[in-house]
Amino acid sequence: MTDLRSLAGLARSLAIYYGRPWRIGRWSRFYSLLLQPGELAFDIGAHVGNRSRALAGAGARVVALEPQALFYSFLRRTMPSGVTALPLAAGARCGATSMSVSRLHPTVSTVAEDFARCVAASRSFATVTWDRSQPVEMTTLDALIAQYGEPALVKIDVEGLEAEVLAGLTRPVRTIAFEFLPAMPDASRACIARIEQLGRYRYNLIRGERLDFELPEWVAASGIVERLSRIRPNERSGDIYACIDTGAGNIRPPRCVGSERTLRRRWSEAVGE
C-alpha cells in the first residue's frame, strides 16, 4: 500500500509539471520542430509524463521509461495512445540495481550512487532527503532500439546517471537531449564526450522549462563545454541538446535546417514568443 508521504510526493510533482497545463502544448510545438509525425522518441526518466505527453502531442510515438513504481502506475493509467510506458531504468548494461527514492521530492530519485554527495552543496537540494531504496530493472538504449526501432530523439533526465545511459548507446541518433546540473559539471562533460564518440554533433542549451535556446548559434563540443564552465554551481539546471551535424553548421532535423536567423525565428514562432 502506498504511504502518505509518497502520495504527497506524487501530488507535488503533478502540481509542478501540470500546474500550468498550457506548457504541454508549447512543448509539443517545440518538439514538432525536432520530429516528424510518426517518428519515434525515447523519454528516459519520464516521471509524471509531461514530456511524453508533449512528444505525443507533436505526433511522435513514445517509449517512456519510469522505474518508480508509483509513477509508472500513474503513466500506465493516464498516458495517451502512442505512449508505451515501461517500468525500467536505463544505464550502461542490463540487469538489476537499486534506486534511492526521495518520497517527498520524487523528481530527484536516482540510481546514481554518488548523486546525493555531488549535489549536497547546492541550494536546490537543501531540503531533499532520500529516504527509501527500491529495486529496479535496468535496460540500455541499444536494447530499446533493438526492440522498438531507432529513435529520432532521445530525452534523458535521470538525476546524475545521464552518462551511464549514454554508455548504453553504441550508434548515433539524430537528436539527444540530456539534463545538465550545474552542481555536477563533470557528469555533463562526460555526456558530451560520449556523444562525440558516437558522431559529430552540434550543441545548444535551454535553462529550466524555458523554450528558447541560450546560445545564438549551435556550437561544437568545445563550445558547449566552454559555456558550461561559466555556469556557477547554484545556477538553474537545464537541458543540453545535441543534434547531428550535417557538415554545414546546421542541425539535422529537416524542418530546422536553415540560416541561424531563420532557425531562431522558427523556434520563436513555435513556442509562441
Residues 145, 165: contact at Cβ < 8 Å? no
Rounded to whole angstroms, the Cα distance separating 166 from 162 reads: 6
Residues 28, 124: contact at Cβ < 8 Å? no
Residues 162, 156: contact at Cβ < 8 Å? yes
For residue 121, the model assigns a pLDDT of: 66
Rounded to whole angstroms, the Cα distance separating 43 from 55 reads: 9
For residue 266, the model assigns a pLDDT of: 56
Extract the C-alpha cell encoding 153: 530523439
Rounded to whole angstroms, the Cα distance separating 156 from 178 reads: 5
Sequence-ordered alpha helix ranges (H) in 58-159? 69-78, 115-118, 141-148
Rounded to whole angstroms, the Cα distance separating 227 from 215 reads: 9
Tell whether pTM > 0.85: yes
- Between β-strands 40-44 and 61-65, what pairing exists: parallel, antiparallel or unpaired? parallel
For residue 56, the model assigns a pLDDT of: 98
pLDDT tens digit at each of 273 positions of the chain? 578 889 998 999 999 899 988 889 999 999 998 999 999 999 999 999 999 999 999 999 999 999 999 999 999 999 999 999 999 999 999 999 998 888 888 888 888 888 777 776 677 777 778 788 899 999 999 999 999 999 999 999 998 899 999 999 999 999 999 999 888 889 999 999 999 999 999 999 998 877 888 898 899 999 999 999 998 888 888 999 999 987 654 444 333 433 445 545 555 555 454
Extract the C-alpha cell encoding 26: 508549447
